[in-house]
Structure 1
Amino acid sequence: MNSSLQKRPTLSTIISPEGSLEVLSQHEVNRLHGTSKTGLHDLLRRCALAVLNCGNPTDDSLALMEAYKDFDIEVLQQDRGIRLKLTNAPADAFVDGRMIRGIREHLSAIIRDIVYVYNEIQHHQRFDLTTGEGTTNAVFHILRKAGTLQPGRDPSLVVCWGGHSISREEYEYTKDVGYHLGLRDLDICTGCGPGAMKGPMKGANVAHAKQRRYNGRYLGISEPGIIAAEAPNPIVNELVVMPDIEKRLEAFVRLGHGIIVFPGGVGTAEEILYLLGILLHPDNHETPFPLIFTGPADSAEYFARIDEFLVYTLGEDVRRYYSIITGDPVDVARKMRHGVDDVAEFRRHHQDAFYYNWRLTIARNFQETFEPSHAAMQALRLDRAQPTHELAANLRRAFSGIVAGNVKEKGIRAIESHGPFRLQAEPELMRRLDALLTSFVAQGRMKLDGQDYIPCYVLN
């Protein structure tokens, strides 16, 4: 835990929502007020504090909560809607006593999504989350409620994945790529945090201004455990909080028209394995989905290690699904523009929606929520005597558990109580997994700059 995190000045106030929740029925107001006072209060409090702490970098959600133990949020019921009562909120979220508008929008989006999911998805009989169809339908409805699905737009949404803890050179490169994507009328979707999630948005924002593209999209998709550790960066103008990591990942691939992967750590490896596991499914063989791994020239060795690990675990055929380009942001943007155009043509030919990829098949082992307990992590099957897309699913879960142990409050507490997670795999796969994870640690990709990393896992 980052025990050096210091509490900054605080402020108590009452505000109105912004960008969400302004128009509510009396029934919705009653339900929102009631839900926020019961089982969801702690979740709302943790996520709200992370958003209000935007601009003060930390990826330790437990340390943040301990630094602001006296922070609280309450939904106040009024005849004309709701207001939000904040007690001892970080003062950096305000200017001359008024909350920064973007932070107010993000705060409203968090309340909208968490309470909507609780009331309308998780506790509603019309969504069967034990089936693939029911899960995909639930993801659709969450995104539609958030206003994310925009049927009037041609395909343009490029998902950018990468680490929150990256070098300055890598960060500048992500901005360059985002800039050249923006010049080609492409929009950006990321996990909404710092580092490689912020850089592409920042670059695209400048390019959109030059092109006089006034409706540029900077979409951030998170989930409660992640957003409590990685607050949305200020450029995000659309924020969606999915209920868990699996639905967050499905939202990325259902919404995105192409994906770019920048250097990162275990979270990035998790995302790569998720997408490749889906693309390797026989039903998706002919579905175009441009995927580019890229970074500055010095990242060539990093991607060589990723490529080597993927080929060993998933087979030589996996290389047909991605390209590796280093040191050339213009080439990346051009290839992605062509790839998105191919996606548009494919969907026109098949009369598919531009705004949601219904056609993509996602197996249940990629949709089922994985709770990374010590028993669950040790029970993961990590061997090559299983179909490649199933091995990809189990490796994805292993990396997801390490992410939880690194930055999520629940995972951090589990590690403090019971020691590191234990993973077991066949000897050669274990050796390669150990080499990959060790390289992430050596390159400082596990935690934000300036923080020492103590591994939350042991390989047996």
Structure 2
Amino acid sequence: MTRPATINALVSPEGSLEILSSQEVRRLKDKSEGGLYRLFRQCALAVLNTGVETDDCKQLMEAHSDFDVRLVPQPRGLKLELLNAPASAFVDGQMMHGIREHLFSALRDLLYSNVRAASIAKFSPDDITNIIFYILRNAGVLEAGRAPDLVVCWGGHSINREEYEYSKEVGHQLGLRAMNICTGCGPGAMKGPMKGATIGHAKQRVKNGRYIGITEPAIIGAEAPNPIVNELVIMPDIEKRLEAFVRAGHGVVVFPGGVGTAEEILYLLGILLHPDNRDLPFPVVFTGLRENGAYFEMIDRFIRNALGEEAAEKYRIILEDPAEVARTMKQGMVDVETFRRAMQDAYHYNWMLKIDPVFQLPFEPTHQSMRALELHREQPPHLIAANLRKAFSGIVAGNVKEQGIRQIAEKGPFEIAGDPSLLAPLEQMLQSFVAQNRMKLPGASAYQPSYRIVSGAA
């Protein structure tokens, strides 16, 4: 990665967190293992690289090894001193307004969520759900009294131009129906729906359009916020990020993607398959171009084989019809509103959704934990989904997360073992993702697998 031009700057807060306690200042300056300096530096650098196409967090950090961020206390509050910051974040020496917002959103979330998630192993499932609520409320994402209108869009960061244009048109149709967009905040299928929605909102004179990006520290370097995001939230880890999507969102649209998208699909279906969620309305649409039909057939076969026919009833596949996708989501919003009003559940946060603790507790991908995954059929479908989700999470970590990349470099690919009837379709799908270039950004070097399917149970 060629190192771009850099700039030094002193930046004032934008939108939030203009004052810090002395304890918070100490934690942000702390360069030890338990301090926040390294984490904040990583997130700040990712935010400053908005628009740069890379999916290698380690490479990004190495290319900007001399970047530094320092707290500068002021009589009236706080400023950040940036040394050797990417010049692409500035216009005529002034930091772009949106990037400045994201920079201080990162500071806000790291300070707020780190304290609350520090002892997560001691927390009950209800505690974790409350922590996610507090983080989203503190970030201003939750708006009391607002009718359901938030569509979560998932899909790959590595998609071709035609797929990107299709995701934009879906976003446009959603925007025309005054629906708002929430994504993982990165490029590709995360950016397209937001960009399209801005046009739909402009045509309908929607002045408060929401383009919410939810990420987490380990992946933000690989998927820096795209320029459309106007509300950025950094959750403590991938599990809380995924729960935030389904608690705050009112429906999901899935575009073609790779292992990250497969992880999201399995997470969602695993939750919807829980017996307590059987009657809870939550519209889900898989959509793409007509030529993506084979892709979604493969996904559909994989789901039916691994999780059963009931799982396939939880989603609808719509090809090359953005208006129908939007109409389906709009009707879904009506169903969600009717149900929550009848059950006296909040519109802004899905409290009734039952999430098994196996989906909430952080999974740390290591060679040992990946080899030990329970990938067999002697368990309920929602637990099969949970363990397959962990397998995909480990592959994502090996592909784009700094710690995962380092482990693969030191010890070789993660090994995945289990029931051949589950793993054969899994391997076929992964090979298809590689063949379709869904594992790396366009223009990146050839994909080096972070996984190896091995025979026999764990």
Q: Do the structures match in fold with TM over 0.5? A: yes
1:435 and 2:431 are equivalent in the alignment: no
Q: How does 1:179-190 map to 2 (within 5 A)?
A: 179-190=172-183
SS at match of 2:137: helix
Q: CA deviation at 1:49?
A: 0.6
Distance 2:99 2:145 in 1: 28
Q: How does 1:221-370 map to 2 (within 5 A)?
A: 221-370=214-363
Distance 2:122 2:356 in 1: 13
Distance 2:313 2:424 in 1: 25
Distance 1:349 1:122 in 2: 33
Contact 1:176 1:329 (8 Å CA) reproduced: yes
1:35 and 2:27 are equivalent in the alignment: yes
Distance 2:295 2:121 in 1: 41
Question: Which residue, 3, 8, 17 being the options, matches 1:7?
Answer: 3
SS at match of 1:12: strand
Q: How does 1:386-405 map to 2 (within 5 A)?
A: 386-405=379-398
State the aligned residue count.
Answer: 449
> Which residue pairs with 1:64 in the alignment?
60
Could you list the structure 1 runs, at least 4 aligned residues long, displaced by more than 6 angstroms after superposition.
Answer: none
Question: Which residue, 69, 75, 100 being the options, matches 2:71?
Answer: 75
Q: CA deviation at 1:128?
A: 7.3
SS at match of 1:240: strand
> Which residue pairs with 1:20 in the alignment?
16
Can you list the C-alpha shifts for 1:148-180, whole angstroms capped at 9, x where unaligned? 110131110000000000011110000000000
Question: Which residue, 418, 442, 453 being the options, matches 1:459?
Answer: 453
Question: What letter is aligned with 1:189?
Answer: C
> Which residue pairs with 1:372 in the alignment?
365
1:143 and 2:139 are equivalent in the alignment: no
Distance 2:266 2:118 in 1: 30
Distance 2:268 2:422 in 1: 20
Question: What letter is aligned with 2:95?
Answer: M
Contact 1:30 1:77 (8 Å CA) reproduced: no
Distance 1:427 1:285 in 2: 29
> Which residue pairs with 2:101 in the alignment?
105
SS at match of 2:368: helix
Q: How does 1:45-194 map to 2 (within 5 A)?
A: 45-119=41-115, 121-123=116-118, 130-194=123-187
Question: What letter is aligned with 2:68?
Answer: D
Distance 2:279 2:23 in 1: 45
Q: TM-score, normalised by structure 1?
A: 0.96
SS at match of 1:139: helix
Question: What letter is aligned with 1:101?
Answer: H
Identity %: 59
Q: CA deviation at 1:79?
A: 2.8
After superposition, the Cα gap between the structure-2 partners of 1:334 and 1:129, relative to the gap in structure 1 and judged at 3 Å, is farther
Distance 2:22 2:75 in 1: 10
Question: What letter is aligned with 2:111?
Answer: V
Contact 1:129 1:135 (8 Å CA) reproduced: no
SS at match of 1:11: strand
Q: CA deviation at 1:431?
A: 1.0
Can you list the C-alpha shifts for 1:76-104, whole angstroms capped at 9, x where unaligned? 22232111010100011001110000000
